[in-house]
Structure formats: C-alpha cells, structure tokens
Amino acid sequence: MLYTLTPISLTLLINSALLIFLGFYLWRRGTYYYFSLAMFAAAFWAFSGSMENGLLEISDKILWAKITYVGIYTMTPFWFLFCLQYSKFKKNILKTLSYLVWIIPIMLFSLTITNEYHGLFWTSILPIDNDITKGLLYSRGIGVYFSMVYSYLLIFLGVLALAIYAFKTTKIQRLQIFTLFIGILIPWIVNFFYLTYSPEVSQGIDLTPVAFAVTGIFAALSIFKYKLSDLIPAAKDLVYSNLEVGVIVVNNENVIVDFNPMAKKILRDNLVNGVIAEKVYLTDSLALKVIIEEGKNRIINLLESNQWLDIHISDLNDRSGHLIGKTILIYNITNQKNVEQKLEQSNKFFSDLTDFLPDPIFVLDTERKIVFWNKAMEELTGMKSEDIIGKGNYEYAIPFYGKKRPMLVDLILDNDSSSETWKLYENEKVEKEGDVITIKTYNNVLRKDGIYLWILAQPIFDNNGKIIYAIESIRDVNDIHEYQEELKTKIDELSAMNKVMVNRELKMIRLKEELNLLKTKTTSK
C-alpha cells in the first residue's frame, strides 16, 4: 500500500488521536462507556478516512472507504445509547435497545461491502487529484440516503432524550448537555451539507470526521471544565437536594454556608445562608451552635412540632486534611420513636398481663431465643427472667430436664410430626387441637418428689399468618393429680366395702331362705 500525507489526511489523523485520548480518558474513569465507544467510533472514522485519502491505489482507497463505514455505522448508535444512559432511562429499556439498535447498521454494512454487486451505495467511483486531496468522487445511491435517515433519526432521538432530561436536572448537567448539543450537532450539520450537495461540490472530501475535532473540543470542555466524567458534582447536587436527611454545612466561624431542602423543612424554614448557628434554635432553649460546639451526636424532641431528631456532627476537611467546617446531619426519627413507644407500651401491657397470670409462661422467637419469662415461671423454676431472656440453644429446658433438649413449644416451631423433636414425645399422650398442643406429664427434676404438669403450647402469628412467636404455658396439676388419686382410692375402698355388703346381704337372703324351708318342713310333719 502506497500512502502519502495530504492536508486532509493529516488533519484526520490528528483528530483521530484526540478522540482516542478522550475515549480512553472516559473509559478509565469508568463513566459513560457508550460515550467512550462513540469517541472510539469517531476516531476510527477519522483514521480510516485518513487512510482512504492518503492511499494512492484506487483499490486500496475503495477498501478503506468501506472500512470507514464501521465507524459511521457505530458512531450514531453509541451516541444514541449514551444519550439514553445519561438521561437515566430504565435499565431494561436501555438493555433492549442496545440490541435492537444494531439490526439496521449490520444490514447496511453488509450492503456496503458488497456494493460492487448491486450499486446501492455508490453507482460510480471516479478519482480526483489536486493539491488538497487525492480522493475519489463517489456517486451516491439510495443506500447512502437510507443510512443518513437512520443516523439522523438516532441523533434526533438522542438529542430529544437529553432535552427532556435537561428540564428536570441540575444546572451543571444542563451546561454539560448544552455543550454536548453543540459538539455533536456541528459534525452532523457538516455531514448534512456533504450528503445533500452534489459530490462535485465537495470534491469527494467528507469533512464530517474533520468536524469531529469540534466534537472533541466540546467534549473536552465538558470533561475538564464541567466534569462530564466526574459524576460527583452532579450526583452530589441531585442526591443532596433529594435526601430524606437534613444536611447543614457550617464553616469554622459557625456560619451556615449551605443546607438542603430537607433541613429547611425539619427546622420549619428557620435556616438562611450566612446566618450564624447561634441564631438558629432547634428548641426554645437549644441553639444549633451548642450542638456544634459539643460535637456529640444526640437525640432531641421538638415538642412544638412533636418531632424526634437524631443529630450527627462530623468534621469537614479539605484535601490537605485541614478543618474547614462541620456537617450536621439531621435524621427525622419521629415515626421510629412513635413505633418504639407503641411497642414499649404493648410490651409493658403484655408483660403486666402475663405477670398477673398465675400460670408459668415463657415465649420463644423464631430463633428459639427466650423473649419473655414471667414471674410465675421464675417461682416454678427458680430462674430469674434477667438470667434467661435472650438465651437460646434450648437453655430454657435445663430447669425442667436438667439438660438442653427440645420442649413442647419446639413442636410449634418445627411443625413437622416426623422431626426429631416429635420423636421425643412419641411415648407421651400429646393432644393437638388446631394450632394448640397439650400434654400431661410427670417431672422429677423440678421437685425431688416429682410433680405432675399440664403443658400447653401455641403459636403467635403476624398479619400475614406467619409464626413470629411460640408460647408455652405450664400448670402445676400435682394437687389435682393427688386429689384424683385419693378420690380413686376412696372409690376403690367404697367399691370393696360395697362388695362386702352385697355378699353379706346375699348370705342373709340365702340364710332366710334356708330357715323358711326348714320351717315349712317342720310344719308339714
């Protein structure tokens, strides 16, 4: 291949190098990969255009003219996808379009490389030789204009997406978008005139990749001045404004230099930039300055608005590590406090209620940890609630069995009659009615002389029908059992006495019958 530098080919090479640099810069920053790919596509367009313009052999020029379309057909799809990515399109839509957008470019490129068979893109190719260029004059076919319509449609849709997004984004991003508008429109305006005027006017020189130098300059402006590749300023602005946490920034003189809308809302519009912190009161007697100087996190209650605030103070340092101010984060924890108070009231009510009950009761959570152990249970087992609450691993079974093992309440949590827990009770008379399990058993660990217990276990469900707790209630039925045994003994004794009495009566009856029979015989003689 014979190659010579012309003013056009040199310009295209320089532009290609600039676009490659910008593409790699963005790629290394891990920001907007589609924009990086668009820069690489433009760089390839410019490089292959330089090759086509500088090569001397016509066959080589035609080959590189076809290769140029790799950059042409990929540039606009990447630009379109970048616009959607920058405009925060939904990921599922972006993913779908990232596949569909390539269907037409693939078809067009297939037709381009086979142009000699159908002439849809170039109907004729003539050489041009002058001091500026050593190019070819291409007579355009319908395929060129079809690809032009498709490319311009993608550009228009991308610009439209950016324009819509610009109305609802931050000031710095609007500047970025405006810069990108100019950078991308200039090459395509040049391209429009190149494609709409006759090839003789342009002398076969496509200045579109040359105009991409302008795109590179404006992209550089966005990157280095407006920090397109640095999301921090834009992201900070957007997140900062929409945080559900109040943020106040003060300098070393405790002067408020910035705050977000949530902080202003929490403090009842009592914030103004430039005001010293001692003039901003959280309560009637508590100034913001006091909290800053203490430098401690604290929770306060705003009685007037019935709000609970969790306030965190942290130092704000510059890159050299020097203290330049403080940040105050204000969390509105009113809902959390209300829930905690209601939960505390509910727990107290439940505790008072169950402590009042005469039966020993304990409660397990789904992790089989003790969450409640009432006073009656303390009296039965001799184990204080503070010593057992929070413990698991079958610790609650030790007072009853002298070792760790499942109890009746574990049958509720297992809910599987084939489990090992159920096998422990296979010789016991376990009765199950609905969700309630009961058993009467003898225990010789709680008392040396043994004790009879009646045990009940049942679940507690949440609103979705899911078990969240399991309760075991234990009743000392030893007295009842002894009474029943005593009653049985009395019944047996009465039954025996009754049997004696019946036998006696039967003997008396037989005796009377014998006497009457003897008397009858005597009388008859």
Which tokens hold the place of 461? 């469900």
Which tokens hold the place of 105? 């470019």
The model's pTM: 0.46
Going through 175-287 in order, the beta strands assigned E by DSSP cover 246-251, 256-259
Alpha helices, DSSP H, located in 389-477: 398-401, 408-414, 420-423
- Residue 361 DSSP symbol: E
Q: What DSSP element (H or E) covers 315?
A: strand 307-317
Predicted confidence pLDDT, tens digits, the chain (525 residues): 676 777 777 877 887 887 888 778 777 755 567 888 888 888 898 888 888 777 777 788 888 888 888 988 998 899 899 888 877 777 788 888 889 999 999 999 999 889 888 888 877 777 766 555 556 667 778 888 888 889 889 988 988 888 887 776 656 566 677 777 777 777 777 777 766 665 554 555 666 766 766 666 676 666 555 555 444 444 455 555 667 788 888 888 888 877 888 888 877 756 776 677 778 877 777 888 888 888 888 888 876 667 888 888 888 886 667 788 888 888 888 888 877 776 666 566 556 555 656 788 899 988 999 988 888 888 888 899 888 988 988 999 998 888 999 898 888 888 776 777 777 887 788 888 888 889 888 888 888 788 888 889 888 887 778 888 888 988 887 766 555 556 566 666 666 666 767 677 777 777 777 777 777 766 665
Interatomic CA distance for residues 6 and 210, integer angstroms: 13
Which tokens hold the place of 519? 């008397």
Interatomic CA distance for residues 307 and 31, integer angstroms: 41
Q: What count of other Cβ atoms lies within 10 Å of the Cβ of residue 499?
A: 10
Interatomic CA distance for residues 136 and 148, integer angstroms: 20
Return the bridge partners of 168, or none. none
Q: What DSSP element (H or E) covers 451?
A: strand 451-461
Q: Which own/partner pairs from 153-158 qualify as long-range (CB within 8 Å, at least 24 positions apart)? A: 154/76, 154/77, 154/79, 154/80, 154/101, 155/76, 155/79, 155/80, 155/184, 155/188, 157/80, 157/83, 158/79, 158/80, 158/82, 158/83, 158/84
